[in-house]
Amino acid sequence: MMRAFLVVMDSVGCGGAPDAAAFGDEGANTLGHIAAECAAGRAEEGRSGPLRMPNLDALGLGAAIRLATGAAAPRLAAVPKGRWGAATEVSRGKDTPSGHWELAGVPVPWDWTYFPDRVPAFPADLVAEVCRLAGVSGILGNCHASGTEIIDRFGAQHLRTGWPICYTSADSVFQIAAHEEVFGLERLVKLCADIAPRLHAMKVGRAIARPFVGTEGDFHRTGNRRDFAIPPPAPTLLDVVAGAGRATHAIGKIGDIFSHRGISTLWKGKDDAALFEHLDRLVDVAEEGSLTFANFVEFDSNFGHRRDVSGYARQLEWFDARLGGFLARLRAGDLAIFTADHGNDPTWRGTEHTRERVPVVCAGVGAGEIGLCDFVDVGASVAAHLGLRIEKGRSFL
């Protein structure tokens, strides 16, 4: 019996989405633009020179970028030794749940609710309910903001008043930041869990607990984030594999994204380095017939949203270097697919995700071009490799 490893490099898009203009993202290309900035010597903080990703490029990463956009990415030009292609999303969003659900075989059948980019951003009745649940007389923020900027702006006031910091973004999210020690981590998580059903009824995708610690001038977020997402509207790849009596291992945000459905074991960590330790261990011990589904978030959270090209390039190179040991320990018959859920071009305007195609590169199933495929084809291919079938998509294996 075979094993499968589905690894999502969060936000590592490769441009070329046919509907990008409808999202204001025509021309966005996360990987291509990072490679170009590196080649031009404009991504020199903590690294230097052209973008180096020899392991993924050998599997077909550069070829996938060329396929998606028609343009080459500097220094990503290896002759592919793996299966490679680029996938296009049909769900009407460029967010984490949409991308992951569709990769797992379930396109989103509704339009998400987004909060307007104004102050206040949230309706008064929602604010009142947050206050009631938290036992406070007001909230801070009530706006669009980045997670690090918002705690710098309101952290000290939060400590004085005890009011939670509530904010959103261009994604369908309602985020609550609070101090782990002063407000309390359990209290914050409970508040998000309690408000989540109301948000889900509004078709807001996620309520997110964003704990932080520190003192004024030195606030920083912790690794105890919790997402409360709308459950997928149909059985996903995880449900199908678990329903067949197979083991399913979720690394990182996967448990939260899929509302912990169809998951045998969940492996969390404070950062991507800790998550890679889980992936390295599971390639040695995961059961025959199992699925390991991983999300590596720091490309997106630490560098894409912050428009940090050098940092994003460093993270790509770190990930690729770590990948060498993992690939060497795959067993005969294993399938490993490396892909993404959306883009987040750090050279782009604003701070939000970008609508892009995503690379699909595969190890363990020979070489050859997949071509342009759909997100759901990724899930269908994993299922087929495991001798199973999901409702949507077709296998490219």
Q: In this structure, how many other beta carbons lie within 10 angstroms of the beta carbon of residue 179?
A: 23
Residue 353 assigned as binding residue: yes
Does residue 392 lie in a domain region? no
> Rounded to whole angstroms, what are the CA distances from 223 to 85, 206, 268, 316?
33, 18, 9, 21
Does the annotation place 33 within a ligand binding site?
A: no
pLDDT at 41 over 90: yes
Q: Does 334 show up as a binding residue in the annotation?
A: no
Domain termination site, one of 208, 229, 250: 229
pLDDT digits (tens, 9 = 90+) for 377-386: 999 999 999 9
Q: 356 Cβ partners below 8 Å, 6+ apart?
A: 13, 14, 15, 16, 17, 20, 25, 28, 29, 30, 68, 94, 342, 343, 345
For residue 118, being part of any structural domain is answered with no
CA distance 229 to 255: 10
Is residue 369 domain-shared with residue 264, that is, in the same domain? yes
Residue 212 has pLDDT above 80, yes or no: yes
In a domain, 73, yes or no: yes
Q: Are residues 145 and 205 in the same domain?
A: yes
> Are 215 and 261 members of one domain?
no
Q: Are 288 and 245 in contact (CB under 8 A)?
A: no
- Work out the pLDDT band at 148, boundaries 50, 70, 90: confident
Annotated binding-site residue? 227: no
Is residue 286 domain-shared with residue 382, that is, in the same domain? yes
Kindly state whether residue 391 falls inside one of the protein's structural domains: no
Q: Element (H or E) spanning 154, and its range?
A: helix 147-161
- Residue 303: give its domain's CATH number: 3.40.720.10
Q: Do 225 and 237 lie in a common domain? A: no
pLDDT in tens, 58-79: 999 999 999 999 999 999 999 9
Question: Do 172 and 134 share a domain, yes or no?
Answer: yes
Q: Which two tokens stand for residue 23?
A: 């999202």
Q: Which amino acid is at 356?
A: E
Residue 115 lies in a domain: no
Is there a single domain that holds both residue 326 and residue 243? yes
155 is in which domain, residue-wise? 124-229
Looking at the 3D structure of the chain, how many domains does it have?
A: 2
Say yes or no to pLDDT of 173 above 70: yes
